[in-house]
Structure 1
Amino acid sequence: MTKTTICIYHFLVLNWYVFLNCYIPHIGKDNEKLKEFHDGGRSKYLTLLNLLLQAIFFGVACLDDVLKRIRGGKNIKFITSFRDLLFTTLAFPVSTFVFLVFWGLFYYDRSLVYPKGLDDFFPAWVNHAMHTSIFPFSLMEAILQPHHYPPKKLGLSLLGACNLAYIIRILWRYSQTGNWVYPVFASLNPLGIIIFFSASYILSAGIYLLGEKINHWKWGTTVKPCMKKK
């Protein structure tokens, strides 16, 4: 695929995520039944955080594309390295994690993550925009162009740090309000919550390694870790 086509793809997906980030937070904003959805802002929902993350990543990818065209194809080292680090350690793992966990819980018992009453406010296309389209976009990105993966220890450490930060956010909000962000946590005892969080990181780490395998499968050994010392 040509660089121009990839640039157009990045631009279109960026606009899609910008639209979602502007549209979704305003759904039912004045409705009393959705007060819990809006209380505390987007930082309590991984789904909305992921939409913001994807918009940032595709924004950086677009900037990288534009600067390379301006410079005649020459790499912008810092921007390209940041783009790759953002995609490999966060954008791909988080989008895939949200896709797998949401739909896994949804089909097991949707009341644990997305109560049926939300269908009155969130049309089906919005649900799929938040939880389905995110995966093929990330997978397409992994296939369309190579990404330099950092050393495993660094990549998994960064992913773990972000995972821990979100867990702290969830626990802090529960300590302040007495309400869990997601109903699934209310159905678990303390040990169950610990197991859930631990399993979530293991799944995230597995997705990170899967992304690295896909990158190697598609692009071979020509892509070396961006942080590796020569």
Structure 2
Amino acid sequence: MTSTLRKVYHITVFSWYAFVVKSLAAKDGEELPPGIFVYGGPWKYLTFLNLLLQMSFFGLAAVNDLQPEESESTLNKCKDLLFSVFAFPVGMFVVLLFWSIFAYDRELVYPASIDTFFPPWINHAMHTFVLPVLLGEMLVQPHIYPPTKHALAALGVVGLSYLFWIIWVYLSVGIWVYPLLGYFSTPGLVGFFLFNMTVVTLLYVLGDKLNSHVWCKRH
């Protein structure tokens, strides 16, 4: 893909995510439907954190596009690190886990009452379009992946940090961020977390393989 098309892609996607985040921010102050509570604000939801992550990555990629081609700058390395270790595996995880649970019983993750608060397009912006956008990024340019052990260590730290955060929210207000978590015992929660981290790890490996497959064939 030419440099111009890559720049247009990054700017367009960044603008889209900025628009979605702004639309969510505009909801501040409105009466919350059952299934959403005030404590922690949107920062307790992985979906919202992922939106900020995706927006940050594509904003960084757009800025990086202004550098000379084949630049090995720190900015370029940070962009590749952000995509490979966080944006791709976390973004794919949000989409796959959300729709898997939604298909089984939406009340466990996205109660029907929320439909009166968020229109369908926002739901899909948060939980659907992330996937094709990330696959599109795979086709736009190659990314340099770090050593696997370092990447997985970073993912583990982030995963544990989010786990501790949602446990803190529960201990503070007695409500789980996601209704699904209320059905697990303590060992069940540990098992569910380990399962999720396994899925994220596999998605990281998938991203690495896809990146190598697409760009080795092109070159």
Judge conservation of contact 1:99–1:135 (CA < 8 Å) in 2: yes
Q: Distance in 1 between matches of 2:103 and 2:127?
A: 13
Matched, 1:166 2:162: yes
CA distance in 2: counterparts of 1:171 and 1:193, whole angstroms: 10
Deviation string, structure 1 residues 33-76 (Cα, Å, up to 9, x no partner): 369344312221000000000010001100100123xxxx3515
Correspondence for 1:210: 206
TM-score calculated relative to the size of structure 1: 0.90
Using the alignment, how far apart are the partners of 1:145 and 1:188 within structure 2?
Answer: 42
Asked if the contact 1:60–1:83 (Cα under 8 Å) also holds between the matched residues in 2, the reply is yes
Is 1:5–2:1 an aligned residue pair? no
How many angstroms apart in 2 are the aligned matches of 1:172 and 1:50?
19
What is the aligned partner in structure 2 of residue 122 from structure 1?
A: 118
Find out whether 1:57 has 2:53 as its counterpart. Answer: no
Q: Show the counterpart of 1:140.
A: 136
Name the structure 2 match of 1:186: 182
1:149 aligns with 2:145: yes
Q: Identity of aligned pairs, percent?
A: 42
Take 2:142 and 2:33, find their aligned partners in 1: how far apart are those partners?
45
d(CA) in 2 for partners of 1:36 and 1:112?
A: 13
Q: Give the stretch that moved more between structures: 96-105 or 190-199.
A: 190-199
Over aligned residue pairs, what C-alpha RMSD do you find? 1.8
SS at match of 2:66: helix
Name the counterpart of 1:226.
none
Q: Which runs of 5+ in 1 are unaligned?
A: 224-230
Note the alpha carbon deviations across 1:120-157, whole angstroms, 9 max, x for none.
Answer: 11111111001000111111111221000000001111
Query: What secondary structure does 1:197 align onto?
Result: helix
Q: CA deviation at 1:189?
A: 1.4
- Matching residue of 2:97: 101
* Aligned pair partner of 1:75 in 56, 71, 78: 71
1:70-109: CA deviation from partner (whole Å, max 9, x where unpaired)? xxx3515101100000000000001100000000000000
- Distance (whole Å) between structure 2 residues aligned to residue 34 and residue 3 of structure 1: 47
Range with greater deviation from structure 2 (208-217 or 28-37): 28-37
Indicate if the aligned counterparts of 2:39 and 2:169 stay in contact, CA closer than 8 A: no
Residue range with higher mean Cα deviation, 102-111 or 187-196:
187-196
2: CA distance, partners of 1:207 / 1:74: 27
5+ residue gaps, structure 2, are none
Alignment partner, residue 27 of structure 2: 27
The letter of the residue matching 1:202 is T
Q: 1:147 to 1:119 in 2, by over 3 A?
A: same
Cα pair 1:29 1:38 within 8 Å, conserved: no
* Contact 1:43 1:49 survives alignment (8 Å): yes
| Offset, 1:166 | 0.5
